[in-house]
Chains A and B, each alone.
Chain A
Amino acid sequence: MRKSLVRRPAQTPDIPTASTADVAFLLILFFMVTTVFRATSLHLKISLPKAQATERILIRRNLANLWLEAGGKVYIDDAVVPMELLNAKMAAKIAENPELVTILKIDEGTNYGIVDQMLDQLKEARAFKITFATEFRT
């Protein structure tokens, strides 16, 4: 075979795009696998009251969640805490982070007396910044 002496035409440069799909799917899978949803396996039966003046809480850090069931059971960050120990538990949290905002998720059917007991415990723990969790009323 005769060797061609004719110069080859310049090749058009191109970036291989065959693997972009793989890269994209890798990203999808990575985020799917690493996303952790908050474990809401508490099975709490709490229906929040509705309010028109509901504000969004813009801070994401410095939050403590406090649940109160209609029966008077209290949970702090997913653990049951007796009402009398609430103040000690909260005081420890406040000592750690004085800027802490406590979100009170209280069932709408709770007696105000129980709510007041809880507020009293919070005052003792010096957890003054609170928010009554509510749903938007349309």
Chain B
Amino acid sequence: MIIKARSRKIASIPTASMGDIAFLIIIFFMTSTVFTRDKGLKMLLPEKTEKIDIVKIKPENIVTIMINPEGALKVKATGLGDGLDLSVQQYNEVRKVIQQKLLERDTLLVVSLRASKDSQYKNMIAVLDQIKMSRVTAADGRELRANKISLIPTTEE
């Protein structure tokens, strides 16, 4: 056996793939970053007028939803008799009423949301959510939704 003095090897770490790794990191973070987007329920406020405009709406075109300070609802519409009393857990009934009314009244429907000034904002939003969600397809294929929503505050006597 020949014992030979080994020639010294130069130790080196391969750096050829470093660039690939760095770009991989860049691309990973670029694709996985999620920017916070604002989200919510869109509304269009009405013009504020000094004189009270009297717009006559036929009573059968109106669905009135009242919210009391406890969060209970009263839904009034023609065909509902004395009105429908709903507790906080029954909010999804609102949608059914509006959907049915939409089919009857088409685009003429106006939803009047009367929240008490002492009621909580989250209840008002929960009802607004129900109104926004009520969409039905009419017999001729058009999609109907409750577009006319009026927000009216009420005070407790």
Contacts and interface: CB of A to CB of B under 8 A. Distances in A.
Interface of A: 17-18, 20-21, 23-25, 27-28, 49, 51-57, 63, 65, 103-104, 106-113, 115-116, 119-120, 122-124, 127-137
A115 B18 CA distance: 56
A110 B35 CA distance: 28
Contact of B129 (A28, A52, A127): A52
B38 to A, nearest CB: 5
Nearest to B121: A110
A55 B48 contact: no
Contacts of B124: 112, 115
A52 B153 CA distance: 23
Would you call the interface of chain B mostly helix, strand, loop, or mixed? mixed
Given A21-B15, A103-B40, A112 B132 contact: no
Interface residues of B, number: 40
B117 A112 contact: yes
Residue among B25, B38, B47 facing the most chain A CB atoms (10 A cut-off): B38
A112 B119 contact: yes
A123 B45 CA distance: 7
Would you call the interface of chain A mostly helix, strand, loop, or mixed? mixed
A57 B37 contact: yes
B88 interface: no
Contacts of A136: 39
A110 B46 contact: no
A24 B23 contact: yes
